[in-house]
Structures are given as C-alpha cells and as structure tokens.
Amino acid sequence: MNNYIDPSLARKMSAATLQQKVDILFTYMEKRGQSFYDEAVTQLEHALQCAALAKQNDASPTLITSALLHDIGHIILDEHNADVAFLDTDLNHEEIGAQYLEPFFPESITTPIRLHVPAKRYLCTTDSSYYDGLSEASKRSLKLQGGVMSDKEREAFEQISHYLDALTLRRWDDMAKVKGLETVGLETYRDVVQQCIK
C-alpha cells in the first residue's frame, strides 16, 4: 500500500511569502497533476473543472478554493488511475489533503475538503437519484468509503459547520470529469486563492 505523503509542497510553502505560496502551489499542481484521475481527465483537469463550476455558480472565494484543492490529497499521495490499487485501497485522501492544507488555509476551506467523501455517502443516503448519476469509479469507491450513512451518522454530519458547502462541492466534484472540456487555467484563480491564504 502506498502511504507516502509528499512533504515537499508544505516544506516549500512554509518558507515562502504570500505570493510565492501561490506560485509554489500552482507549479506543484501543474507538474504533479498530469497523472490521470480516471479514464477521462487528469488530476489537474478535474481540479480546474471543479473550480470552474464553483466560479460559474458564483461561489465564495473560500468555496472556489476548496473546489480547486479538494483532491490535493490524491496528488500528495501520488494516487492515480495508473496505480492498480487506486480504487481498491482507501488512503483517506480527503483527510490527508485537509490536514496538509490546514497550516495555510482556514477551516472554511479545509472542512469541505475533509467532508467531500462523507458528503457522497450523505447524498447517496438522502437523494435516490444521486447514486444513479455517479461515475462507475465513484460507485465502486463508495463501499470502500463506508457505504450509505445510518440515521445517526447523517444527523452527526449535519452538525458539522460548512457541511452544506461540502455537499455543494461534492455535486461539482461529480460533474468535473468531462473528457476534453476546455477550462480556464490555474492563473485565473491566483487572486482568489491568495486572498484565502492565512
């Protein structure tokens, strides 16, 4: 099992000025995001499509940043489609990504990132049409992520602040897998991300 968390991004960002932090983050995503997320899109394309959906829906800067960075855990774990174990082993990319970003971004950004996997479980529990619309890969990973929620789990989920942002993010996440879709690049989000860095 691959449990290696790449420390280089956090190390470089820690020692950087505000503007450099964004440079370092975007360079990292550009370079490490070229591996395939699924059959259709790369990790970077997936992040850009998700952020574009947030922007088109007039989301707040924090939610746009969450959308852009929600799968950073896959990148720092080097989890991708070419790795045979990718969909059969759960490395908790949502928790690892959220923890990794906590020194740099506020809770309003890291919580939706942390919750975007439980959000799928929540939506599968509360919205019968939601499950049918999931990609095959996402259906396959649901079981591994805990399956549908019990009433108790659902009620506990609703007590967490920013849970509604996590549900919104999750729906964009599921839509952000369109092969060949043209999106704006990372630079479009420079100001938004920079204003969110703490």
- At its nearest, how many Å lie between Fe ion and the CB of residue 14? 26
- At its nearest, how many Å lie between Fe ion and the CB of residue 71? 4
x/- letters, 124..163, toward Fe ion (CB under 5 A): ----------------------------------------
- At its nearest, how many Å lie between Fe ion and the CB of residue 174? 8
Binds Fe ion (CB under 5 A): choice among 79, 94, 165, 173: 173
Residue 36: strand, helix, or coil: strand
Tell me how far CA of residue 31 lies from CA of 3, 20, 27, 53, in angstroms. Answer: 20, 16, 6, 23
Q: Which is nearer to Fe ion, 119 or 155 (CB)?
A: 119
Q: Which is nearer to Fe ion, 71 or 165 (CB)?
A: 71
Q: Which is nearer to Fe ion, 21 or 74 (CB)?
A: 74
Cβ atoms < 10 Å from Cβ of 89: 14
Rg of the chain over all Cα atoms, to the nearest angstrom: 16
Residues of this chain, 60-119, that bind Fe ion according to CB under 5 A: 71
Spatial CB neighbours of 10, under 8 Å, sequence gap ≥ 6: 100, 103, 104
Q: Does 165 bind Fe ion (CB under 5 A)?
A: no
| Dihedrals phi, psi of 42, to nearest 5 degrees | -80, 170
Residue 190: strand, helix, or coil: helix
Count of residues interacting with Fe ion (CB under 5 A) = 2
Kindly list the residues in this chain that would bind Fe ion in the complex (CB under 5 A): 71, 173
